[in-house]
Amino acid sequence: MKSLLIALGLALCCLAQVEWEEVTTASDKHLGSWVNVAAACDSPDALEQIRHMSAFVAVLSKPREDVFSILAFVPMPDGCKKVTYQFRKGEDGKYHSHCDDTTVTVESLKALGESIMSIIKYDDFRTAILHSRTVTQDPEIIEKFKEECKRLGYSKDQIVVLNPTVKCQEE
């Protein structure tokens, strides 16, 4: 279950010009397929799971104005798993989801060209995820992601670039 929650966080990052620009409202240009290519996390347990993950695809859709859905194709030890999550916009303007006993909140989204960085807060840890339209990892964008993560308080050891091989695809 923890792996699925981590995958959810990585997928959420799907909603970043030379500097990261805050995205206050997800628009139609943020919808569609994204590849999660890097992450930073302040939980040692979650970080250990992320270190062994490969890049994966997440599809973002907006069935209603105050709701967005994420369909993620997550590589698991026993094969690919397709998971769906829905987030609702709260009174605080942020999107929230509840999975089992865990509350997940999208704290912020930042855009940089064709990349998006999401900051996700779980009950007991926080993660930042880099999403790209392609699996190709642009070294400049990866470096800018790492710089932004350090600015957000993550140490170098808490930042991971995922294996660029996508093992699970959309059907």
The pLDDT value recorded for residue 16 is 34
Cβ partners under 8 Å of residue 98, min gap 6:
104
CATH class of the 22-161 domain in this structure: mainly beta
Of all helices (H) and strands (E), which one includes residue 70? strand 67-76
10 pLDDT band, cuts 50/70/90, is low
CA–CA gap between residue 152 and residue 38 (Å, rounded)? 15
Helix ranges restricted to H, 19-82: 44-51
Cβ partners under 8 Å of residue 19, min gap 6:
112
What is the overall mean pLDDT for the chain? 82
Q: Please state the pTM of the whole predicted model.
A: 0.80
Q: Amino acid identity of 29?
A: K
Helix (H, G, I), strand (E, B) or coil at 45: helix
The better pLDDT of the pair 147, 59 is held by 147
CA–CA gap between residue 142 and residue 144 (Å, rounded)? 5
* Farthest-apart Cα atoms in the chain, separation: 40
The better pLDDT of the pair 101, 157 is held by 157
What residues form DSSP beta bridges with 112?
A: 115
Residue with tokens 């996508």: 166
CA dihedral over 87, 93, 94, 97, signed as positive or negative? negative
